[in-house]
Amino acid sequence: MEFVEIPEVVILRLPVYVRALTQLTDECISVVSSQQLGAHLQISPAQIRKDLSYFGRFGKQGRGYNVGFLLRELRDILCLDRQWTACLIGVGRLGRAIINYPGFTPESFKIVSAHDHDTSQIGQMIGDLVIQPMSELAESILSKDINIGIVAVPAIHAQEVVDCLVENKVSGILNYAPIVPKVSDNIVLRNIDPVLSLQSMTFYLGKRDGREHIRRA
Amino acid sequence: MEFVEIPEVVILRLPVYVRALTQLTDECISVVSSQQLGAHLQISPAQIRKDLSYFGRFGKQGRGYNVGFLLRELRDILCLDRQWTACLIGVGRLGRAIINYPGFTPESFKIVSAHDHDTSQIGQMIGDLVIQPMSELAESILSKDINIGIVAVPAIHAQEVVDCLVENKVSGILNYAPIVPKVSDNIVLRNIDPVLSLQSMTFYLGKRDGREHIRRA
DNA sequence: AGCTGTGAAACAATTCACAGCA
DNA sequence: TGCTGTGAATTGTTTCACAGCT
């Protein structure tokens, strides 16, 4: 009897399961096997069963998993049953797209405060938020009990904004700036970087004959 | 003497190295050790050396790596010295933000065609592109020699758009829709999904006392 | 019969540690 | 001395295969 850390790769897959199960719920499918779920997500059934087994025994032998029950359990594990609050830093084009993105709110995340360094934008509305100066960030985080900072400023300012968020005690940061910011290890950091995705893609696109992906050892 | 496939994780790290080396170039630093580079990126020096060793011997013992040389080599490996062309499908708020994002063009990617299903938008300009109907997608891909499709349509339409791109022979797809699309395995797919990032983040945020991350085995 | 849950086996990635070169 | 490049060791992840439940 010993303690086992849950691998981060497993945690990264749970939201994918949540999404698939939500879709199955919408389709009024109430039971699913690891086989079926795996076929849907292109993940092996064994991996799904192993992933879930880190958290408990959610299935029934011979039947599979009850979709609604498993969905509730996973949402609970991921703490998706509460509303998480976020502040957005940077209201340029990217920031405006983020704030208007309709996908966050139904998924437990709400942007409740928007800030920018640029004083000429202060006071403007975007969506139902007033753009506030950086000097009010600390106050916003405190008074609105903000958990997550979303960084949408140019690369040059990203590290200082991240530092500022950390000082003001957000717990997680979603960073859209094209840098890998340094954060203390009690902060959960996620980076969104389409350019990195494209630049790794082209390795495979450029070498279509299938021989350059191997090397002589 | 045998052949070794290069692991995908290695390929995913190369663009990160490219970015760091580009920054060092801007700072007029001409030599860097795996130690220094690793400290900058929070990656172990051994991993950097191992990654690079899949492709050749770029360093000098006792000195380190020549920044300019290594950068050129990596850009060459990733095929970043050509201009890649992309078409954008979906010109809603997200699509507009993507098309106006200034980070793609300097990094070898150019959006040269924008399409939407919504006929009321056809003919409008965004940036320097005219919004075209889906019916002209095939023609655009062919005439503009488009390599990459960028999907920014609602989840419900994403799979059909992806299928359409695949039929018209793009080689890579950058998908912003919140689904895991099915593609044939000769297509390189990258997904951008901030909601999944946030939903895995909250696992760690919700369980701050540090004991729930372990289970009894 | 059909499917889960899970140790054990297989495979993959990372780190170690050191020979060898500048 | 300082650093690379790389086999070997270690650590992490996925798959296998089957006991056991429904």
Provide block-wise average pLDDT over 10 residues at a time, chain B (217 residues).
78 98 98 98 98 98 98 98 96 94 94 96 95 97 97 97 97 97 95 98 74 40
Phi, psi dihedrals of residue A90, rounded to the nearest 5°: 105, 110
- In the predicted model, what is the mean pLDDT of chain A? 93
The helix (run of H) or strand (run of E) holding residue B114 is strand B109-116
Q: For position B5, what pLDDT does the model report?
A: 87
The helix (run of H) or strand (run of E) holding residue B145 is none
In one-letter notation, the amino acid at residue B143 is S
Q: Please say if the pLDDT value at position A217 is more than 60.
A: no
A96 touches strand C (CB under 7 A): no
Q: For position A207, what pLDDT does the model report?
A: 53
Q: For position B4, what pLDDT does the model report?
A: 74
Q: For position A211, what pLDDT does the model report?
A: 34
Q: Please say if the pLDDT value at position A71 is more than 80.
A: yes
Q: For position A206, what pLDDT does the model report?
A: 83
User: By the 8 A CB rule, do B106 and A199 touch?
Assistant: no
User: By the 8 A CB rule, do A165 and A151 touch?
Assistant: yes
Q: Please say if the pLDDT value at position A2 is more than 90.
A: no
Mean pLDDT computed over A57-72 = 98
- Band of residue A214 on the pLDDT scale cut at 50, 70, 90: very low
Note the pLDDT tens digit of each residue in A11-25: 999 999 999 999 999
Note the pLDDT tens digit of each residue in A161-201: 999 999 999 999 999 999 999 999 999 999 999 999 999 99
For chain A, percent of residues with pLDDT exceeding 70: 94
Chain centroid, CA B105 distance in Å: 13
Q: Please say if the pLDDT value at position A209 is more than 90.
A: no
In one-letter notation, the amino acid at residue A63 is R
- Band of residue A3 on the pLDDT scale cut at 50, 70, 90: low
Q: For position A212, what pLDDT does the model report?
A: 41
User: By the 8 A CB rule, do B144 and B112 touch?
Assistant: yes
- Can you read off the two tokens belonging to residue B205? 């945020």
Listed residue (B122, B14, B215) closest to A56, CA to CA? B215
User: By the 8 A CB rule, do B172 and B148 touch?
Assistant: yes
Q: For position A37, what pLDDT does the model report?
A: 98
Question: Which residues, 6+ apart, have CB-to-CB distance to B204 below 8 Å?
Answer: A11, A172, A188, B213
Q: Is A64 strand, coil or helix?
A: strand
- Can you read off the two tokens belonging to residue A2? 């010993």
User: By the 8 A CB rule, do A67 and A32 touch?
Assistant: yes
Residue bearing tokens 């049953």: A81
- Band of residue A4 on the pLDDT scale cut at 50, 70, 90: confident
DSSP string covering A112-123: EEEEES-GGGTT
Name the residue among B1, B15, B18 with its Cβ closest to that of A216. B1
Mutate which of B11, B83, B100, B202 to disrupt the A interface (most A C-beta within 10 Å)?
B202
A17 touches strand C (CB under 7 A): no
- For residues A60 and A66, give the distance between their C-alpha atoms in angstroms, rounded to a whole number: 8
B91 touches A at CB < 8 Å: no
User: By the 8 A CB rule, do A165 and A171 touch?
Assistant: no
- For residues B108 and B78, give the distance between their C-alpha atoms in angstroms, rounded to a whole number: 11
Name the residue among A174, A201, A217 with its Cβ closest to that of B2. A217
A184 touches B at CB < 8 Å: no
Do β-strands B64-66 and B59-60 pair in parallel, antiparallel, or remain unpaired? antiparallel
DSSP string covering A200-213: HHHHHHH-TTS-TT
